Amino acid sequence: MQTTTTTARRTAARAIALLGASALALAGCSLTDDLGQAPADPTNAATPTASAEPTATSLPDDDVPLVAVVSTTPLGSVVGQIAECGGGRAETIMGIGDDPHSFQPSSAQVAEMANAPLIVISGMDLEGSLISAVESAALDGANVLAIGPLVDPLTFDETGGSHDHDGDGTPDHDDETHEHDSGYDPHWWLDASRMATAAALIGDALAEETGGAAFAECGAQLSEELLTLDAEITEILAGVEHRELVTDHQAFGYFAARYDFEIVGAVIPSLNTDAEPSSADLAELVHIIEEHQVAAIFANVGATTALADAVAEEVGFDVQIVPLYTESLGPAGSGAETYQDMMRTNAHLIADALEG
């Protein structure tokens, strides 16, 4: 991990430098454009306190300094663990069940972003409606760390995703309203090894921004724990023989690439959960499920399963609808209260559905 951690430190320093207000003002581009090189390592970290797994939405303690504001709950869980380990706290803008594609922040949340030492987002067009507020905060001097572009992102072609954000069923490559689209699949956190890389980046970024060297060591420590989680997920899924997935929308490309699955179809052939498939799309999916003998359609917890139910009813054998935690953690008692819990639960649900 020494090489990985050193690279993470360098990349984090570069990312923050390029995502500051002056860089945005001069470049006039998306927060997620830079995949660049990196400068020297920051100061070595001190030994941190033991890590924990707080939820992303735990109530703040006003006596504990706010060190970061985070966009999504899976990312918020990881940032929160690093922050708590290093003696700070992080606030997550989105709540349990919020869809990052369509989430709108309140005025109070926008103000909180502007006051945080660091704003951490996934990037690559995931937080579509939040990005304007993040860009405004950056122009006011806030430092922004977009993690997605820094964890070896995959293109839409590599994950089998459609570059369709507006939900009209057609790719958006020539759509002027998406001129800053990254061209990358933004669902990187469903690969635990990439989240391990992210943890090291975040720890070093927090150390750089706050001057608290312990955050860097906390990030490195959590990175190691997430690599162990990655191996655990691989083991949970090792016994699955039928490794073809059908999902409710195109969100599991990174998961499939990391854990040796193939995405053969999606109810909504888009990265956007609000897109509407045509009747021909649904008929083709029924054919694919029957041809590949797929036992389950994996849906998104909290989202409607009406279309998935309709597809399952048309298939000539029983097909389960299995909800997974895709873009949000789960509430207390769900088994998906932290990022680690979410990934373990998803792995068990997939294994149980496909082994049955």
pLDDT bin (cut points 50, 70, 90) of residue 40 is very low
Asked if the domains 2-231 and 233-355 are classified in one and the same CATH topology, the answer is yes
Per the prediction, the chain carries an average pLDDT of 82
More confident residue, 183 or 81: 81
> Are the CB atoms for 101 and 126 separated by under 8 Å?
yes
SS3 129: coil
Mean pLDDT of 314-339: 97
Fold (topology level) of 2-231? Rossmann fold (3.40.50)
- pLDDT at residue 275 in the model: 76
Q: Of 51, 99, 53, which is closest to residue 72 (Cα–Cα)? A: 99
Indicate the domain borders of the chain: 2-231, 233-355
In a 13 Å sphere around the CA of 46, the CA atoms on its Cβ side amount to: 10
Per-residue model confidence as pLDDT tens digits over 191-246: 999 999 999 999 999 999 999 999 999 999 999 999 999 999 999 999 999 999 99
**End-to-end alpha carbon distance in the chain:** 37
Residue 196: beta bridge partners?
A: none
Q: What is the DSSP letter of 247?
A: E
Structure tokens at 257: 């690439």
Question: Please, what's the largest Cα pairwise distance for the chain?
Answer: 62
Q: How far apart are alpha carbons 351 and 9 in whole angstroms?
A: 36
Q: How far apart are alpha carbons 94 and 120 in whole angstroms?
A: 12
pLDDT bin (cut points 50, 70, 90) of residue 356 is low
- pLDDT at residue 129 in the model: 86
Is residue 168 pLDDT above 60, yes or no?
Answer: no
Complete edge-to-edge strand list for the sheet that includes strand 119-121: 89-92, 66-70, 119-121, 144-146
- The alpha carbon dihedral of 196, 198, 204, 207 has a sign of negative
The DSSP line for 257-318 is HHHT-EEEEEEE-SS-TT----HHHHHHHHHHHHHHT--EEEEETTS--HHHHHHHHHSSS-
Residue 185 — φ and ψ, nearest 5°? Answer: -70, 125
> In residues, how long is the chain?
356
Q: What is the DSSP letter of 46?
A: P
- pLDDT at residue 182 in the model: 61
Q: Angle at CA 328, nearest 5°, toward 326 and 329?
A: 105
> Are the CB atoms for 34 and 84 separated by under 8 Å?
no
More confident residue, 107 or 169: 107
Fold (topology level) of 233-355? Rossmann fold (3.40.50)
> Are the CB atoms for 17 and 118 separated by under 8 Å?
no
Q: How far apart are alpha carbons 326 and 224 in whole angstroms?
A: 23
Per-residue model confidence as pLDDT tens digits over 176-204: 333 335 689 999 999 999 999 999 999 99
- pTM, entire model: 0.81
Structure tokens at 216: 């860097």
In a 13 Å sphere around the CA of 43, the CA atoms on its Cβ side amount to: 13
Mean pLDDT of 57-64: 61
